[in-house]
Chain A
Amino acid sequence: MNVAIVKYNAGNIRSVINAVKRLGVEPVLTDDAAVLRRADRVIFPGQGEAGSTMRYLREHGLDEVITSLTQPVLGICIGMQLMCRHSDEGDTPCLGIFDVDVKKFQSTAHTLKVPQMGWNTIAPKEEWLGNGGYVYFVHSYYVPLCQETAAVTEYGLPYSSALHKDNYYATQFHPEKSGTVGEQILRNFLCL
Chain B
Amino acid sequence: MALAKRIIPCLDIKDGTTVKGTNFVNLREAGDPVELGKAYSEQGADELVYLDITASHEGRKTFTALVERIAREINIPFTVGGGINELSDVERLLNAGADKVSINSAALRRPELIDEIASHFGSQVCVVAVDAKDEGDGAWRCYLNGGRIPTERDLFDWTKEANDRGAGEILFTSMNHDGVKQGFANEALRRLSDTLSIPVIASGGAGTKEHFLDVFTQGHADAALAASVFHFGEIPIPELKQYLHKNGISIRL
Shortest CB–CB separation between residue B128 and chain A, in angstroms? 14
- Please tell me if the beta carbons of B77 and A177 are within 8 angstroms of each other in the complex: yes
- Please tell me if the beta carbons of B97 and A113 are within 8 angstroms of each other in the complex: no
Identify which of A8-16, A33-41, A64-72, A141-149 touches chain B.
A8-16
Q: Which residue of A lies closest to B124 (CB)?
A: A138
Interface presence of A154 (CB below 8 A): yes
| Those of B69-126 within 8 Å (CB) of chain A | 71-73, 75-77, 94-95, 97, 99, 121-125
A-B contact pairs, 25 of them (CB 8 A): A12-B99, A18-B71, A47-B124, A107-B197, A109-B195, A113-B198, A113-B199, A113-B222, A115-B124, A117-B169, A117-B199, A118-B4, A118-B199, A119-B3, A119-B4, A119-B6, A119-B252, A120-B2, A120-B4, A134-B4, A134-B252, A134-B253, A137-B3, A154-B1, A182-B75
Q: Which residues of chain B have C-beta atoms less than 8 A from A110's C-beta?
A: 193-196, 220
Chain A 149-192, CB-CB to B under 8 Å as 1, else 0, gives 00000110000000000000000001011111011000000000
Interface presence of B168 (CB below 8 A): yes
A positions within 8 Å CB-CB of B:
11-12, 14-15, 18-19, 21-22, 47-49, 107, 109-110, 113-121, 134, 136-138, 154-155, 174, 176-180, 182-183
- Give the docked Cα–Cα distance between A154 and B198 (Å): 18
- Give the docked Cα–Cα distance between A118 and B223 (Å): 9
Q: Which residues of chain B have C-beta atoms less than 8 A from A119's C-beta?
A: 3-4, 6, 46, 252
Interface presence of B173 (CB below 8 A): no
Q: A109-B197, A179-B41 are in contact. Are A118 and B75 (CB under 8 A)?
A: no
- Give the docked Cα–Cα distance between A100 and B123 (Å): 26
Q: Which residues of chain A have C-beta atoms less than 8 A from B41's C-beta?
A: 179
| Those of B49-85 within 8 Å (CB) of chain A | 71-73, 75-77
